[in-house]
Structure formats: C-alpha cells, structure tokens
Amino acid sequence: GADRADADGITGKGVKVAVLDTGSDLSHPQLLGIRGESMIQAQPLEWDENGHGTHVASTVAGAQFSHPQGLLQGVAPGAELIIIKVLGAGIGLGDWSDILAGMQRAAELGAKVISMSLGGDDNADPEASERRVVRQLTERGIICCIAAGNSGPGASTIGSPGSAADALTIGAISKTGIADFSSRGPTLLGLVKPDAVAPGVDILSGATGIIAAYRFIDGLGRFAAISGTSMATPAASGALALAEEYARRRSLTLTTPMVKEALARHYNREPDNTVGYG
C-alpha cells in the first residue's frame, strides 16, 4: 500500500525517526539538513567513518536522488531524522551503555520510531538492561524497530535487543524469498521472532566511509548496494513513519501492539520463527 500512501501525499511528515548507528554523513546529498549527535565520548561528532549509518538513514528518509540505477528516495522522505551515533571504531563496534543512552536520548528528542540496525548475542535474562529499556520505551508509545541479525539460517539465532518481547524485530527478504542469512527464532527465552520481514538484499542507498570505498557501484562513490537485516530494518522504520502519519490524520497514534495486531490481521495470524507475521 506504499504507492497508495504516496498518492495520498503521505511521506512520514511530522514523524520523528531516530537512527541509532555509526552516525551519518550529513553532507550526503540525501541527508542535507539532518541533525545528529554522538553518545560516544571518544567520538563526540556524529561523523560516520564506517558508512553503515549513512546507508540506513538514507533508506529511512533519504531525499530524492537521480542515480544511474534509477531514482532513489527513502521510504519516508518527509520524516524527521534524528541521527544518534552509538557505534564507532571504524568497523561499527559499540558499548551497551552508549546504545542504551542513545535510546533514552532518542526518547528525549521526541522520536516516535527508534531504528536500530545493530545487535549482540542473545541472552536468557528476562530483565537484561536492553530488554528493560525497550519495554519502558514501548510503554511510552515509542516503537523500537530492531534488526533480527545476520546469523541465519539456523534456529535461535536472533540477536539482542531484537530478542526483546516488546521490540518490533525485522528479518530480511530478497525478491525470491527469505534471505539465507536472516536470523531465525525462537529466542533463548522461547519467544517467536522475528515479527516481520522487509527487503534487505542488495539494497542501494547512500553511503560514505569504508562501505562507500569498497561497495560502491556505477562510479558513484557515495552510494552502495549492501545486504543484511540492517537494510531491512530501516525499510520497516520508514513504513512505520508512513503509517504513523496516516494514523495521525485519523486522530490516532500507533503503538507496537497495534502494529503487531495489524500484521496478524493482514498477514500470518500466527507468526513463525522465519518470517514472523510475514
């Protein structure tokens, strides 16, 4: 229904989406005018030396750009991006303390959707700090859209915080089906995950840094085609921004339980551990 949303002028306008990642190149033509900050003390600027965060942010809400492969545009180009750098060290490493601080900061800045293309090993602690923060934010009406991980196709490979019960956890599909690398459930606590899947294979989007240097195509070094549940998650986050604008036009606001109910109504009523609700 995204084409119908576009025809109705729904672009995610007025919806704040926080991207917690490696930062972003805010001089990129798809991201001009975006605000950013960093939770990493040793890297106080939002500059993206890796390129992962730029790719993710451009998928959520990148401005229109004419590329040799076609016209590029983020899923929700009208959404207001909030860039929060929580991963660094070039290859995108991070500490839970910075990630959790970034989640709280996103809430302070009014984010409706927090897009997190990141994760670590799952754990069986129901009160793990990352689960607790996801739950607290969800109770405040914030949707935490989190990557399932790239450790598939085996069972019980979902990463954390995507393993949190309250997360909207996203796996990856290609044009032909579920991506082999997309992590599967159940979680170590026995939860069915992911919650849904979105396009995550060979996604062409904005890039900078390491990714732009090694993965660009067609001679344009500020764009790259890469794969992962990291690429599927911002597609879902952009779709959530569109849905939230649609809901606001009807004096409603989305919550994570509402999204999962809608997925169950229109796709798989009983989710499975491969594609979730579908």
Residue 230 catalytic? yes
Determine how β-strand 203-206 pairs with β-strand 223-226.
antiparallel
* Closest CA relative to residue 56, chosen from 24, 14, 26, 32: 24
Active site residue 55: no
CB-based contacts of 142: which residues, under 8 Å, 6+ apart? Answer: 106, 107, 111, 112, 113, 114
Q: Which of 160, 227, 230, 237 is catalytic?
A: 230
Catalytic residue among 21, 25, 122, 195: 21
Q: Before 29, cis peptide (omega within 30)?
A: no
Q: Nearest Cα to 211, choosing from 57, 52, 94, 21? A: 52
C-alpha to C-alpha distance for 1 and 13, rounded to whole angstroms:
17
CA distance 227 to 194: 17
- Residue 52 annotated to the active site: yes
Give the whole-angstrom CA distance, residue 250 versus residue 268: 26
Q: Which residue among the candidates 24, 52, 183, 195 is catalytic per the annotation?
A: 52
Q: 120 forms bridges with which residues in the sheet?
A: 160
Active site residues: 21, 52, 230
